[in-house]
Amino acid sequence: MEALLPTEIIKAEALRLGFSACGAAPAEAVSEKVADTFRQWLADGCQGEMAYMQNYEDKRLDPRLLVEGARTVISVALNYYPETKLPENEYQIAWYAYGKDYHDVMKAKLKTLLEFIQNNYSAGGRAFCDTAPVLERYWAWRAGLGWIGKNTQLIIPQAGSCFFLGELIIDFPADRYDSPQENRCGSCTRCLNACPTKALEAPFRLNSAKCLSYLTIEYRGELPPDTGQKMGKMIYGCDECQRACPWNRFATPSRTIEFSPSASLLTMRKEDWHRLSEEQYRTLFKGSAVKRAKYQGLMRNIRSAKK
């Protein structure tokens, strides 16, 4: 008789490690509808200059090509909603980047969960968190964590969308798989209405090339002329669609200490940002995701933002 992964035990361990939610789905190719939508998104240039989105399309659309013998995708979510926020009249950075780089925090927790599975059930697998060709929100939906909202974010019922996602792809089948949740956005379009650049071109369609998160983090060129007005006080990333989402009224502060903002960040004022040296930048954002934009990119954003 084939050995099976006990999903309830794995979920309990995931919660013990600090994850906010955990679910399991069978490892298989995504549906043709999802595959066609993704290919059309690329064909329309919605990835901007993120050329890596075009790499390994076959693996992105079928996790069995990432892990030999893959049978199960375990999806986890980790809350990053901040208890303390930057003063509203000062420059803003996206909530997810307040603390330590989520890649490091998530990977450490995922590695521990994977070792638990390997040691107890002799299963093999790999951990992923935003650095491999995996459709993370799709698998979180398939694993029953929540639904993908009109702003393309995963929304967890009674919890909101401020979550990092990660996956374990395991070569054992599970004793029970979770069912996808129905979309509960209804007729609401607050996220689309709130998007400063209209990057949410339609429900469930984000044109990354227009998105402030892309422009202030991934994009390396000079910002389009009207971007500063649309940025407002945001100098790294954008949370406007999440601020507008009614489901985020249920958001509770993260209990992951690594995601808490430093005292140095909370005391930054506009004049401090404009005088920020490269050395101060390295100190302020040591171990932070903000390093993604690099010093030159962040200073470009600061010069463009509303004074």
pLDDT tens digits, one per residue of 9-24: 999 999 999 999 999 9
- In which domain, by residue range, is 127 found? 7-82+100-170
- Tell me, yes or no, whether 244 lies in a domain: yes
CB 63 within 8 Å of CB 73: yes
DSSP state of 217: I
Do 41 and 145 fall into the same domain?
yes
- Tell me, yes or no, whether 93 lies in a domain: no
Q: Which residue has the tokens 């992923």?
A: 128
Phi first, then psi: give them for residue 199, nearest 5 degrees.
Answer: -70, -25
Do 248 and 161 fall into the same domain?
no
User: Mean pLDDT across the chain, nearest whole number?
Assistant: 96
Report the C-alpha gap between 226 and 281 in whole angstroms.
Answer: 26
Do 160 and 210 fall into the same domain?
no
pLDDT at 307 over 80: no
Catalytic positions are: 130
Question: At what angle are helices 7-16 and 102-121 packed, to 10 degrees?
Answer: 140
pLDDT tens digits, one per residue of 214-251: 999 999 999 998 899 999 999 999 999 999 999 999 99
Residue 1: predicted pLDDT: 55
The residue among 294, 254, 251 whose CA lies nearest residue 276 is 294
As beta bridge partners, residue 72 has: 26, 170
Measured over the CA atoms of residue 136, residue 139, residue 143 and residue 145, the dihedral's sign is positive
Q: What is the CATH number of the domain that holds 34?
A: 3.40.109
The residue among 178, 102, 115, 189 whose CA lies nearest residue 150 is 189
Do 194 and 131 fall into the same domain?
no
- Tell me, yes or no, whether 180 lies in a domain: no
pLDDT tens digits, one per residue of 273-297: 999 999 999 999 999 999 999 999 9
pLDDT at 118 over 80: yes
CB 175 within 8 Å of CB 6: yes
pLDDT tens digits, one per residue of 157-189: 999 999 999 999 999 999 999 999 999 999 999
Report the C-alpha gap between 158 and 137 in whole angstroms.
Answer: 18
The residue among 67, 255, 289, 77 whose CA lies nearest residue 166 is 77
Mean pLDDT of 65-80: 98
Report the C-alpha gap between 91 and 89 in whole angstroms.
Answer: 7
Report the C-alpha gap between 68 and 156 in whole angstroms.
Answer: 30
Percent of the chain with pLDDT strictly greater than 70: 99
pLDDT tens digits, one per residue of 22-46: 999 999 999 999 999 999 999 999 9
With cut-offs at 50, 70 and 90, classify the pLDDT of residue 3.
confident
Q: Which residue, of 170, 201, 216, is where some domain finishes?
A: 170
Mean pLDDT of 118-130: 95
Q: Which residue, of 139, 170, 201, is where some domain finishes?
A: 170
Report the C-alpha gap between 236 and 297 in whole angstroms.
Answer: 9
Report the C-alpha gap between 248 and 81 in whole angstroms.
Answer: 9
Q: For residue 9, count other CB atoms closer than 10 A to its CB.
A: 14
Q: Which residue has the tokens 């070569």?
A: 171
Residue 131: predicted pLDDT: 85
